[in-house]
Amino acid sequence: MILVFGSINVDVIVPVPRLPEPGETVLGGDYQLLPGGKGANQAVAACRAGADVVIAGAVGSDSFARVALDPLVRAGIDTRLVRTVAAPTGCAAIMVSESGENMIAVASGANTAVCSDQVPDAIFGPETILVTQMEVPPAETAAMIRRVRAAGGSVLLNLAPALAIDPSLLGEIDLVVANAGEAATLGADPGQIASRLRRALIVTCGAAGATAYLANGGIFSVPALPIVPIDTTGAGDTFVGVLAAALDAGAALETGLRRASAAAGLACLARGAQSSMPDAAMIEQAVRQLPER
């Protein structure tokens, strides 16, 4: 079982011809209101890939809460650990350029009220994979990581957005997934960072695929799907969710990373984070189209 501890947002997406410079206004196309949040996105990606998923998070008692939560329920995700709190549902303002690049600003709202205590001990155990990110309070994420590890479960941390973490926490984490910029905040040498983790540091590199730096000193890379991106929003979340689902199903790390990489490529082919996430059959087919390294 996968336990996602993380953010739940509504994304306000504005397509723009190009991303604005600071202080500049650009005119865009029609906006869309879509479900998002790194936690929710990763939960949907794992669920579509075939995993049983429970999510712990928080929303407000506003109309955005249903926009954010209904798709999770429809996807088959267990949302009983999502609290309703006295703050607005998290909201992300996202601009997507014609080349598929994005800029994101998050109004965290209810996500700042997420706490480890809302997850009872009975929910997790040795078979649990905790999937978490940095959009809910880091102290609560750290507490959740330590609790799952004490119960014998494993931990996948997506270091997004890049915030400082307690160095002593690294030894409690099986896998860190980060893009190159996020990984650099942990230190200059990925191999050295990996040696402090339980299993590996995975650095995602967009069109160049991803590299796994193993705690035992090993290193290998997986390629990306050759695609022309329409919207990269949620591609990293798809990578994380699909990797967690593969590991939950007993796959080896390299197999899981190939599935994650293929799925992340597919997720760039339509606008929105969750709407473009592939199911297990689509991932299977795309893995066969990955180039040799």
Q: What residues line the site for ligand RIB (CB under 6 A)? A: 7, 9, 11, 36-38, 41, 92, 104, 106, 135, 233-234, 236-237, 273
Task: Pick the closer one to ligand RIB by CB: 140 or 172.
Answer: 140
CA distance linking residue 293 with residue 288, whole number of Å: 13
- With respect to ligand RIB, which residue has the nearer C-beta, 106 or 215? 106
Q: Which residue is nearest to ligand RIB (CB)?
A: 36
Taken in order 250, 254, 255, 259, is the CA torsion positive or negative?
positive
Q: Where are the alpha helices (DSSP H) in 37-161?
A: 38-48, 63-75, 138-150
Of 42 and 116, CB closest to ligand RIB = 42
Nearer to ligand RIB, 203 or 215 (CB): 203
Q: Is the dihedral of CA 62, 64, 106, 190 positive or negative?
A: positive
Residue 260, CA distances (Å) to 47, 49, 71, 116, 212 in order: 13, 10, 22, 27, 12
Of 11, 78, 231, 237, which residue is the catalytic one?
237
Q: Write out the two tokens for 160.
A: 């997004």
Shortest spacing between CB 113 and ligand RIB, in angstroms:
16
In whole angstroms, what is the distance from residue 133 CA to residue 131 CA? 7
Angle in degrees, CA 179, 181, 182, rounded to 5 = 65
Smallest separation (angstroms) from ligand RIB to the CB of 234: 5
Residue 50 Cβ vs ligand RIB, minimum distance, rounded to whole Å: 21
- Decide if 237 is catalytic: yes
Work out the number of other CB atoms within 10 angstroms of the CB of residue 183: 24
Least distance from ligand RIB to the Cβ atom of residue 7, Å: 6
The answer to whether 176 and 198 have CB atoms below 8 angstroms apart is no
Closer Cβ to ligand RIB, 72 or 194, answer by number: 72
Tell me the chain's radius of gyration from C-alpha atoms.
18
- Cβ 11 to ligand RIB, closest distance in Å? 5
Which are the catalytic amino acids?
237
